[in-house]
Structure 1
């Protein structure tokens, strides 16, 4: 859906931009000449009302001219700086909740054109632990949000609900690192649930970022459904060059890289950096107001994303 909006925004900007240029450099000067000619014929200045009438552009010219600067600003802001997204599910709990509205930084990972998404300015690449928005590799018209776990060349194991990471090692390195378990510290149990079971909250100590995760100890590992990579075990993933391995923070309720593989670098949209609004949606079918109407604002959730 986002890609269609981007295409429509570019088309509208282009059309209104052409009309704005035509009016500025041809149509508006023609109206000025028409006014001068009318004043010459009348042998003096016309009344202000008549002059304004002659200089007034028709609505199909004036409307695009008025909206072009706004549309162009939105295009630049959304395409190259920040884009708003809404969190539609609980796969990133407790970091992000259903009803959170977030801002995605689109220049941290390089500037891309808004339609073909070809990168034309290199700025940076994701770091392990970043929360990223990307085009779902199996259906690129859909935007997903997950956390980067593995960088290109990393080996990642998710076994018995524990995460192990072996960073990429170059052939020139004198000594390659071994697998290191991501330490988890218990926070609490029962604060969150999936509707049937209580979820346990842990703080995961990633190599360069600390964040909270949720685990459902009542759910058995679904290893048989994991992405099968040639030459590795079902619960082990070797991240190809130019790709990233991502997982949701709600580990047992997330359709992520464990099940479909890796995110190509060209699919990256940007880094989720802040929650700018958060709503509760707790209405039922018996309520008078529709369910999409918020029941409250979660002001305590506003701020940066860890």
Structure 2
């Protein structure tokens, strides 16, 4: 009998040990699950209200920001937005048809001219927060008067401030029977394209003003001048938006005023295309045309008061950037944050990190 009891006790001990091990395993799993849940919630809060990572996918901001740069974008500077849609965190999946009431929490600064800003691409047909993120330089503030003439940007009548990273395409003429070295151009900081027409001795090079001045001093080069589209080259016919029927990205309708909150504009059949997205899409009004008259929310009127501030954005790679010149103004509601720091940079051509760009703060 004693031996039988001993066996039962041993079995009970084994069962207790197994139970304790299971409890420890469950406790360990709960701790990890709690830790992962806490980390996910903390990351979601940080991403929503404080900082977000962003990758530069295109060359539209070169050489200020390079394709393959990974940025930290601060949402605190201009003020974070409360959630706008209901979806799966850290994905682009959201519940269609449901837009949450939202507001912008005050930041500690306003957008200033020439800030590098991340924003939602305005003309995407999705809720604001689900739109593609773009990054450009805010060259026009609410109320500014802008013009572009022969590729030169003017703000309130003055030529815009230049920046070392801004680049454009130049025509470069070389001496007879001389070929320009692509490797030499690349070493100087430019990108060489093919000659304009065979052996004409004229090349097109994408480069900054500083590089253009260097190239101008080369003995084989006779002249360097900005490449400018002719006045007759019209991009209006192949785009859904334009500031004027004679617009291209090198010439601009003179005296274009960036809309500001509280500004009242007079609508005409000639200028309505400039304000159509603002009135109907970004500010949610119902608009109908009745000859030269406009009917806004059932009321016949030829005036409209702007409900929020807008910005004019341009890429620093002026000849290789889809920006406000082509799709119009950026509403304040679409502003995501301010570009803060490059935390990593990857050169896909050389398949190497750009070590000289790591942990660099972005200066406007």
Fold match (TM-score > 0.5): yes
**Alignment match, 2:256:** 237
In the TM superposition, 1:120-269 aligns within 5 A as 120-123=104-107, 124-139=109-124, 140=128, 141-166=131-156, 179-184=157-162, 190=185, 191-193=189-191, 195-196=193-194, 197-202=204-209, 217-220=226-229, 224-225=235-236, 227-228=242-243, 234-241=253-260, 242-269=309-336
Pairwise CA distance, 1:220: 1.3
Please give the per-residue CA displacement for 1:216-271, whole angstroms capped at 9, x wherever unaligned: 923516675473279x9625421111111110001111110011110000101101
Give yes or no for the alignment of 1:105 onto 2:65: no
- What TM-score do you get using the length of structure 1 for normalisation? 0.64
Pairwise CA distance, 1:68: 0.7
Pairwise CA distance, 1:142: 1.1
Shift in CA distance, 184/149, structure 1 to aligned 2, threshold 3 Å:
closer
d(CA) in 1 for partners of 2:57, 2:321: 12
Partner of 2:209, secondary structure, is strand
Aligned partners of 1:90 and 1:253 also within 8 Å: yes
**Alignment match, 1:73:** 42
| Segments ≥4 residues shifted beyond 4 Å | 46-49, 54-64, 183-190, 221-224
Shift in CA distance, 48/229, structure 1 to aligned 2, threshold 3 Å:
farther
In the TM superposition, 1:267-286 aligns within 5 A as 267-282=334-349
Aligned partners of 1:278 and 1:299 also within 8 Å: yes
Shift in CA distance, 69/194, structure 1 to aligned 2, threshold 3 Å:
farther
- What TM-score do you get using the length of structure 2 for normalisation? 0.55
**Alignment match, 1:305:** 362
Structure 1 unaligned segments of length 5 or more: list them.
1-41, 167-178, 204-214, 283-293
Please give the per-residue CA displacement for 1:141-183, whole angstroms capped at 9, x wherever unaligned: 21111000111111111111111111xxxxxxxxxxxx21125
Shift in CA distance, 154/224, structure 1 to aligned 2, threshold 3 Å:
same
d(CA) in 2 for partners of 1:193, 1:84: 29
Larger-gyration structure (1/2): 2
Partner of 2:66, secondary structure, is coil
Shift in CA distance, 63/235, structure 1 to aligned 2, threshold 3 Å:
farther
Partner of 1:121, secondary structure, is coil
Partner of 1:50, secondary structure, is helix
